Structure formats: structure tokens, C-alpha cells
Amino acid sequence: MASVRVAVRVRPMNRREKDLTAKCIIKMEGNKTSITNLKIPDGNAGEVLRDRIKTFTYDFSYDSMDSKSSPFVSQEK
């Protein structure tokens, strides 16, 4: 039986998102990717905080959002 490996990539913001001054809600550290729900106010604790930030683990995480960050991976050939 073969094993399945899963990768995730965060794409750069498109022009529309930049024009709307959208915030990046995704943070990558190693193979962990966290998504922040901005509809839930910051500063909450316990159950509410757990709902505000969801963390997922993948085999590979590729960040194409910020070229100055250490986990940055270019999508150019």
C-alpha cells in the first residue's frame, strides 16, 4: 500500500486583494499552517481562542506570500 503525502501552498495576494488592503490570515511555521478567523475578536481565551486560530499539519508547506520571510518559496521556474 502506498502512502499519501499532502502539501499546501499559500499564493501571493492578487491585485484585487491588495487594492482592498486585505490582511493575510495564514501563518506558516515548518509543516504547520495556521488560519486566523478575523471575525472572532482577538484577546479571547479558551474555547473562543481555539475557534479563532485553526492549525493544520501537512507533509509540506510552501509560502509564496512574503518574499522576505524565511519559508518563502518562489513559484517561478
- In a domain? residue 5: no
- In a domain? residue 47: yes
- In a domain? residue 19: no
DSSP letters, the chain, are: ------EEEEPPP-HHHHHTTPPP-EEEETTEEEEE-TTSPTT--THHHHHHEEEEE-SEEEE-S-TTSTTB-----
Domain that holds residue 45: 24-72
- In a domain? residue 34: yes
- In a domain? residue 18: no
Whole-number Å distance between alpha carbons of 15 and 71 = 23
In the chain, how many domains are there?
1
Across the range 46-62, mean pLDDT stands at 84
Choose the weakest-confidence range: 25-29, 51-55, 59-63, 65-69.
Answer: 65-69
- In a domain? residue 3: no
